[in-house]
Structure 1
Amino acid sequence: MDTLEMPVFPAAFRARRLCVGALVMLTLSACALQKPATVSNEAQLTPATPSTVALLRLPPPQRKIVAAVYGFRDETGQYKPSPNSSFSTAVTQGAASMLMKALKDSGWYIPVEREGLQSLLTERRVLRAVDDNPANGEQKGQVPNLLPASIILEGGIIAYDTNTRTGGLGAKFLGIGLTTQYSVDQVTINLRAVDVTSGAVLNSVSTTKTIFSYEIHPSYFRFVNYYDLLEIEGGYTRNEPAQLAVKEAIEAAVMHLTVQGIQDNLWRLKNPSDWNDPLIQRYLNAEKEYVTVTKREPAKPEETAAGASQ
């Protein structure tokens, strides 16, 4: 009776196969690595968000509003998760700069410097000292007064929720597989306009932006003969930058605050016919939907009578 004998590979032939396999692995690893950035790469402007485009397309105002921003703080108190945290915060600390940029882009506001007010006052004292002692007989000048603000914009980043939604999907067949995973974070900011003369809060807006991240992981697993196993894996991850999400949420809040002010006659359009502009109407409709959803239903007569009897 014949017996099945396993083929015996010479040592040199097997070593050659191992070298070929190692060469294939190194080639795949080199393909997976991307060229690192160098200082020769030119810096670019921060990408425009949909809210940035909306701000730049706002119809012009009858008169620009002088607005002061003393700070736009991170009020979440959250840090990045371990082990990559190093006690760094989960959201950017430069939200005030983003707000100033959004106000300037809208064309509706004249933002005045208040966050670095101490440095500004110091420099103005230097100018006055030069005016008091003019050099070479120059005519004495006068430092103009600071531009007063009509409104103060307050608020901050009030929430940052991680993994509000997570999930994934995967399948494998005959050693070929593909898995995907995703997670959704959420950042919320609040912005309010305060009247300088009375201290009254003119309007207050809260906006929320989701931060989407996903991963794609293909794999291949197969025995090429009795002894050798071929396994190939790959991966691709995409994380939406958190600072761009904060930027868009701030810009959307400026848009809503401006449109609400137009609706309440706090400030006016240069051309009243621009009230029917599709951009303004889109934000008005969003406000109407919000009011409709959150509007409290009136109590039924029987419920009112029961409450009165108690």
Structure 2
Amino acid sequence: MGRYILNRVFIATPLLLIISFLTFVLINLSPLDPAEVVLQAQGVPKITDELIVQTKEELGMDQPFIIRYFDWLIASLQLDFGDSYVTGKPVWSLIAPAFLNSFKLTFVSSVVIIIMSILIGVICALKEGKLADKSVRGISFFLTAMPSYWLASILIWYVSVKLNLLPTSGMDSYKSYILPVIIITVSYAGIYFRNVRSSMISNLNEDYVLYCRACGIPEKKITVHILRNSLQVSISIFGMSIPIILGSTVVIENVFAWPGLGSLSVKAILSRDFPIIQAYVLILAASFVLFNTVSDIINAAMNPRIRNDL
């Protein structure tokens, strides 16, 4: 198992380096001069060529591209993403609390999504082809197709404005989580439960299920065993749900004024705050690689054949 973990880490390391390089390249391909952006953010009334050259020297932008990349990479490994062009504050001091707020929402939503997906997936698999199965799948298709911002607006109007039951914005208490978590769960549980359902149906048709029933093993024990085998297929999907949700909360965070990465990234894009954008992209990409690696390790721990085949 230790050898498998080392191999997965070895594979993930060059992937992260490639992602960091592409992130730095894409930002630097912008037609806007970063030095000019800095001066505009500082409110300089008249931007001259001399000021641009001086700003580039101060920020190290006059160095060759590859040197600037390695300087940025080494600093990023120390969680030093530079200073914001707009506020002048260290990027980490802005992005760390925003990341924590987004992760709280993402974690709570992921737990709810996983629980709901497993419950609904098991019920639909056991009721395959019956009214309950068809009804749940039909409703899930309808809800998944609904735009999240539209559903969020409807819930805010009805639950928060008309009934005055829940807050419309912020994260002041546990009540602030309810509406955003509902929206995210509706958007993703309808997708993930179908994976559990299909995997369960596939395992229900295996020979070991027929043998267990012939031996008189209680149906509950058989269902638990089938679920355990089915979840081996779904672990990778569930593991990737966290970075997927983390990267897709932009709309929800802006609708509910949630002070997270999504809100911060939108503000950074509108104000052309490149250091924050670079940090945001790098953190999201790293989270995808990290959770994919962790999912593979969990799968290998549950299924020895995976780590033996490596």
Bin the TM-score by the shorter chain.
under 0.3
Greater percentage in strand? 1
Greater percentage in helix? 2
TM superposition score normalised by structure 1: 0.23
The structure whose Rg is larger is: 1
Relative contact order (C-alpha < 8 Å, sep 6+): which is higher?
2
TM superposition score normalised by structure 2: 0.23
